[in-house]
Amino acid sequence: MKTIFDHIERVKAQPHHIRKQVAFAAAAAGTVFIALVWFTGSLVTGAFSISNGNSFATSASEQNAAQENTADQNLAGAGAAAILPDADAPARIEIIDASSAPVVKKQAEQTTIPF
Domain assignments of the chain as residue spans, ordered by start: 7-45
Q: Measuring CA to CA, which residue among 32, 34, 33, 26 is closest to residue 4?
A: 26
The answer for residues whose C-beta is within 8 angstroms of residue 56's C-beta and 6 or more apart is 50
User: Considering the entire predicted model, what is its pTM?
Assistant: 0.41
38 vs 64, higher pLDDT: 38
Q: Measuring CA to CA, which residue among 29, 31, 51, 50 is closest to residue 39?
A: 31
Q: How far apart are CA 69 and CA 61, in angstroms?
A: 13
pLDDT bucket at 38, cuts 50 / 70 / 90:
very high
CA angle 104, 107, 113 (to 5 degrees): 140
State percent of the chain over pLDDT 90. 29
Polymer length of the chain = 115
State the amino acid at position 20 in one-letter form.
K
The answer for residues whose C-beta is within 8 angstroms of residue 59's C-beta and 6 or more apart is 50, 51
